[in-house]
Structure 1
């Protein structure tokens, strides 16, 4: 998730939480009769009078459209980005052009390699960009599950093959590989 999206999510939750706490405290104080002001009844006349105005339905409709657009924008911010799925590799400066690698294909291949190892029952992988030392680094996470009778130590040693295959495709230190092993 993008940092700005996480910030606005947390800010929204903070505002909503504070409003709900204030509403709950106010309701509890009202029930006990401990409000610092007198409140015998609620006067909703101002709102009821506005409902008969010709602009009221348009204002409510406009507010609804704005709310729907904000929610759609929020949902679109959470979609996985197609940006960053390709990695440009450093190449020989004497050769013009550049070489790019499709990281989705490398991620899928890493899971396939892990799945073919002896003692591995299933394997799946995912690609994420994570922050490390101030820069964004692609991280391929391979989630592998061993057979019931397989040795975890042997499977962990064999899974180093996955790292070697990724390094053969993209070069050393271009992509981080994380292997999570369970039985």
Structure 2
């Protein structure tokens, strides 16, 4: 999603939120009878007359279906964070292409995390976020791991990512703390 689309989306969310706040305040005012003669001021007869027409249920159903489709498309646009399998390296010219396999890049950066004792699991991915490439590493730690050593290893891993991707590329190293091994099988006691 580009910046213009993100800005338009934020504006739409702001306007929707303000409209819901106004409707909620009006409902409270109506309930508390803070608006004298509110029932006499509102004329909904034009809308209520249409509800008896044959096409009304179909129109309302179609509008509901359209809103569901728009909502699903909106969710799909936000859930989509596609990982990059290969990416071009800095210095690539028009005559050729210097590429790196993102899995190999994650493995090279994760090797620095292997040096820290207490790292029990690691993974990572590379994806494009707007106009920049983001590399992310994840590590799960044992409870007794030395956090200073893990932080140093995470800095070394980020340095490896920066060396391969160049200084303009965003690199993020995320360390997840867990109580035990995430892959350990849990047994039930009966």
1:137-176 pair list within 5 angstroms: 137-163=132-158, 165-166=160-161, 170=164, 172-173=166-167, 175-176=169-170
Runs of 4+ in 1 over 6 A off after TM superposition: none
Per the alignment, do residues 10 and 144 of structure 1 end up closer, same or farther by CA in structure 2, a change over 3 Å counting?
A: same
113-122 or 66-75, which deviates more: 113-122
CA–CA separation in structure 2 for the residues paired with 1:146 and 1:59: 55
1:40 Cα offset (Å)? 5.6
Unaligned runs of 5+ in 2: 178-190
Query: CA offsets per residue over residues 114-151 of structure 1, 9 Å max, x none?
Result: 553341233333435457xxxx3322222334444443
1:17-32 pair list within 5 angstroms: 17-32=17-32
On the 8 A contact 1:114/1:144 being kept in 2, the answer is no
1:77 Cα offset (Å)? 1.3
Aligned partner of 2:115 in structure 1 is 117
CA RMSD of aligned residues (A): 3.8
CA–CA separation in structure 2 for the residues paired with 1:10 and 1:153: 39
On the 8 A contact 2:124/2:138 being kept in 1, the answer is yes
Q: How many residues align?
A: 176
Unaligned runs of 5+ in 1: none
CA–CA separation in structure 2 for the residues paired with 1:149 and 1:72: 43
Aligned partner of 1:178 in structure 2 is 172
CA–CA separation in structure 2 for the residues paired with 1:18 and 1:122: 45
CA–CA separation in structure 2 for the residues paired with 1:10 and 1:96: 41
- Structure 2 length-normalised TM: 0.65
1:167 Cα offset (Å)? 5.7
